[in-house]
Structure 1
């Protein structure tokens, strides 16, 4: 667990343990995508993902202003819960859960300056 990791229920933590965000083997990716999809449903049901992180995926302004990352998936025919099971979605799931891929020392320093690291956004930098 990193400094900016969101709080997880026991069930969510068990699913997260099945997710290998860096895995490249086919079977590992399939398992990771399935667990990630189930985990995302649980996190969304209880509004556990900080709005600033969710906005990175859903707000066109965070993607050059034309289409959001979500809209890109939908434009390519992937919709609803299918998005969460897509191999390319793992990087977003990782961000939703752990926050930006920054060194822990940087996150600790930011926490001293601006507070709760789960609520960091680009405006805080």
Structure 2
């Protein structure tokens, strides 16, 4: 996996798990043995990360706090997920959980130049105020166009990046909305 500036530190055992996990759930479709083996690794890695509190709070909140789920209508992503499965273990084994695990480890899934440029723009603001949001929205929209990204696919990634850059969820939601307003 490619490192990002926001990749969390992993133990050597966790790193071994990461290297063995198929993060694309399509890679284990139709192969029950591979699916179960991958699920076992995902569970062991997730348990290890949670046990040592290695996942940044804002990333856990993105998954488990309704206030961090802009389109959630009062429900967190985890609550919505749990409505479709029978147990926490089944949720973690599920192929759709892999995108959350990837985020827990690496942060937002954006091109490195976009991450660096947006981080620089946020850093230039110093302490973020309401007057900084409109210029940051402009920067985010510019980066989407300059990197030929699909707005609908990267809006949540900008939201996640904003959280990692210590913007509050409502300011991050404004950036997300600005990206979504771009035409395809």
- Asked whether the two chains share a fold, i.e. TM above 0.5, the reply is yes
Q: Is the 8 A contact 1:60 1:67 kept in 2?
A: yes
Q: 1:50 to 1:114 in 2, by over 3 A?
A: farther
Q: Which runs of 5+ in 1 are unaligned?
A: none
Structure 2 counterpart of 1:92, from 87, 100, 113: 100
Q: Is the 8 A contact 1:33 1:90 kept in 2?
A: no
Query: Which shows bigger deviation, 102-111 or 73-82?
Result: 73-82
Q: Which runs of 5+ in 2 are unaligned?
A: 124-160, 176-184
RMSD: 2.4
Distance in 1 between residues matched to 2:37 and 2:73, nearest whole Å? 33
User: Normalising by structure 2, what TM-score?
Assistant: 0.58
Distance in 2 between residues matched to 1:93 and 1:81, nearest whole Å? 14
Distance in 2 between residues matched to 1:67 and 1:119, nearest whole Å? 21
Matches within 5 A, 1:1-12: 1-12=3-14
1:20 aligns with 2:22: yes
Structure 2 counterpart of 1:49, from 55, 60, 64: 55
Tell me: higher relative CO, structure 1 or 2? Use CA pairs within 8 A at least 6 residues apart.
1
User: Normalising by structure 1, what TM-score?
Assistant: 0.81
Q: Is the 8 A contact 2:46 2:101 kept in 1?
A: yes
Structure label with greater radius of gyration: 2
Matches within 5 A, 1:25-40: 25-26=28-29, 27=31, 28-40=34-46
* CA drift at 1:93: 0.6
Query: Which shows bigger deviation, 75-84 or 12-21?
Result: 75-84
- Alpha-carbon displacement from aligned partner over 1:42-89 (angstroms, at most 9, x marks no partner): 111111111111111101121423211111222224322332111111
Q: Is the 8 A contact 1:73 1:79 kept in 2?
A: no
Q: Is the 8 A contact 1:18 1:31 kept in 2?
A: no
